[in-house]
A = this chain, B = another copy of it.
């Protein structure tokens, strides 16, 4: 009999749900019968993105849609009465869970009732942390459309024999920095970088500062004439996504040697480093990871990140990314299965 967990990753550009073994060391998933599943450490489905409107976040509806989708695709796992697979836990990481969802604690309750297994829900930064550090202690800074850093003392899975500290495998002690959204912060994230790139482009267009000429050319290519940019942006409800779309152009220009773009990308890396260090408390190991879609930019971003760490706290270890937020959600589901999670308001609910 296979013991399984479900992980959900719900974000502003899309959502995913994954099925994986309870014991990550087993490495084996029940064969999907499609000739692709048995070797994979997880099997995934995609779902809709979260919308933010006057009533708040649509995250609860996205969770329902993902579970419906999974029940259809993997009926043997969801059939509670029969089958030789057994679901042991479910966990969710979602954007805006602390600030834009009313009563986030109802989400794990709904999942636990529907699936009759222990459940947990966390802000997406927590699942990013659990994925990137594979449960180890330290701080991660995730640069996607937004930017957020979180620190944690570290958690251990019960299967890691001998390392278990008491009954709590995932203690409290989460600390968050930034994640304020594209108008208030998200310093160094995709929307932040894209917005600054478009600002410099329009400074060049306005004749205020010609240094942004290459950014202006890139903006014209992506968005057309500057006169049409406001209408494309302000009438959309995913403004941050539109801004973040331009971050790819800023990164490409920086790589090709454009001075202003290089300065902006390096500044993004420096902002990320400052947030990561601020997320570390004395109880956290001195370890940081730069993660998220924008982290792949490398180059000036990595240079800014490492330079700022060296300037502020040179003894800090810069670790590599172990896994993605969906891995983190699966990790959280395993912690939930072991009843090892301590609820911490603003971060994590069971």
Hey, which bits of chain A sit against chain B, CB under 8 A? 52-56, 96, 98-100, 177-178, 180-185, 187, 195, 198-199, 202-203, 206-209, 226-231, 233-237, 239, 243, 274-275, 278, 346
Q: Please name all residues of chain B whose beta carbon is closer than 8 Å to the beta carbon of A55 when the two chains form the complex.
A: 235
Chain B residues near A239: list those with CB within 8 A: 183
Q: Which of A53, A54, A233 has the most CB of B within 10 A?
A: A233
B181, B236, B275: the one contacting A206 at CB < 8 Å is: B275
Taken together as a complex, chains A and B put the C-alpha atoms of A243 and B100 apart, in Å, by 18
Task: Find chain B residues with CB under 8 A from A195 CB.
Answer: 183-184
User: Which residues of chain B are within 8 angstroms of A56 by Cβ–Cβ distance?
Assistant: 231, 235
Q: Which residue of B lies closest to A192 (CB)?
A: B199
Chain B residues lying within 8 Å of A180, measured Cβ to Cβ, are: 202, 226, 229-230
Check A181–B99 contact: CB distance below 8 A.
no
Are B183 and A243 neighbours in the complex by a CB distance under 8 Å?
Answer: yes
Q: Which residue of B lies closest to A191 (CB)?
A: B183
How many monomers of this chain does the complex have?
2
Cβ of A346: which chain B residues have Cβ within 8 Å of it? 227
Q: Is the pair B274, A208 in contact by a Cβ cutoff of 8 Å?
A: yes
Contact call A227/B98, Cβ cutoff below 8 A: yes
Contacting pair B100 A235 (CB below 8 A): yes
State the Cβ distance, A335 to closest chain B Cβ, in Å.
25
CA of A180 to CA of B226, assembled, Å: 9
Which listed residue (B227, B233, B237) contacts A181, Cβ 8 A? B233
**Residues in B neighbouring A182, C-beta threshold 8 A:** 183
B275 x A183 contact (CB < 8 A): no
With A56-B235, A177-B207, A235-B100 as given contacts, are A202 and B230 in contact (CB-CB < 8 Å)? no
- B-chain residues with CB within 8 Å of residue A231 when the two chains form the complex: 56, 99-100
Assess whether B206 is in contact with A184, with CB atoms less than 8 Å apart.
Answer: no
Q: Which residues of B contact A183 (CB under 8 A)?
A: 182, 195, 198, 233-234, 239, 243
**In the assembly, what is the distance between CA of A53 and CA of B236, in Å?**
8
Q: Which of B96, B99, B187, B230 contacts A184 (CB 8 A)?
A: B230
Mind listing 14 A-B residue pairs with CB under 8 Å?
A54-B237, A96-B230, A98-B227, A100-B234, A180-B229, A182-B183, A184-B195, A184-B202, A185-B199, A185-B206, A187-B203, A207-B278, A208-B274, A209-B274
